[in-house]
């Protein structure tokens, strides 16, 4: 198993199949464009776990700072390929992300999870994460 940050367009595109399970509204070209734009604007990093030459799990993260949490790592996206779940890939990537956050000087580690993702919630709770609030959203433009 190998975990690394996607740097080239080819590496980013190689993460698309797994990420599309979490973000099915994106096509591959739009996915690459959005990752590149987020890298430029927000320091977004696309991190992937590869096993036997295949991408098995993907995470999108960014480091920021706010009054509530100080310096923190926010996980925008975290998904393991559906056929590869319960094989330890998600746990290895999650543990790597915690270390990455610590290396980046983060005081906290945060993410949001859709209310319907019960398996993900069990995973986060098992990993000592706490449910600390509700996230509210409002679309300002129609797609």
Residue 28 maps to which CATH number?
3.40.630.30
Could you tell me the residue range of the domain that residue 11 belongs to? 2-126
Task: Name residue, tokens 């945060």.
Answer: 110
Residues 6+ apart with CB under 8 A from 5: 45, 46, 47
Whether 137 maps to a domain, the answer reads no
What value does the mean pLDDT take over residues 16-30? 96
Whether 52 maps to a domain, the answer reads yes
Backbone region of residue 62 per phi and psi (left: phi > 0; alpha: psi in -120 to 50; beta: other values)? beta
What value does the mean pLDDT take over residues 56-77? 97
Query: How many structural domains comprise the chain?
Result: 1
CA distances, 130 to each of 70, 73, 81, 122, 124 (Å): 17, 15, 24, 11, 8
* C-alpha span between 26 and 38 (Å, rounded): 15
3-state SS class at 139: coil
Whether 133 maps to a domain, the answer reads no
Query: At 85, is the pLDDT very low, low, confident or very high (cuts 50, 70, 90)?
Result: confident
Whether 136 maps to a domain, the answer reads no
Give the per-residue pLDDT at 86: 84
Pick 84 or 77 by higher pLDDT.
77
103-127 pLDDT, tens per residue? 999 999 999 999 999 999 999 999 9
Two structure tokens written together for 122: 């069990």
């Amino acid at each position: 198993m190998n975990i690394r940050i996607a740097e080239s367009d080819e590496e980013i595109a190689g993460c698309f199949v797994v990420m599309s399970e979490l973000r099915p509204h994106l096509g591959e070209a739009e996915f690459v464009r959005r990752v590149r734009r987020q890298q430029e604007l927000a320091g977004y990093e696309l991190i992937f776990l590869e096993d036997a030459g295949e991408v098995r799990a993907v995470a999108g993260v960014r480091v920021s700072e706010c009054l509530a949490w100080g310096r923190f790592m926010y996980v925008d996206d975290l998904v393991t390929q559906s056929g590869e779940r319960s094989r330890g890939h998600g746990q290895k990537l999650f543990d790597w992300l915690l270390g990455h956050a610590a290396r980046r000087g983060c005081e906290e580690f945060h993410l949001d999870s859709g209310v319907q993702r019960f398996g993900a919630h069990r995973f986060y709770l098992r990993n000592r994460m706490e449910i600390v609030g509700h996230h509210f959203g409002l679309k300002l433009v129609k797609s």
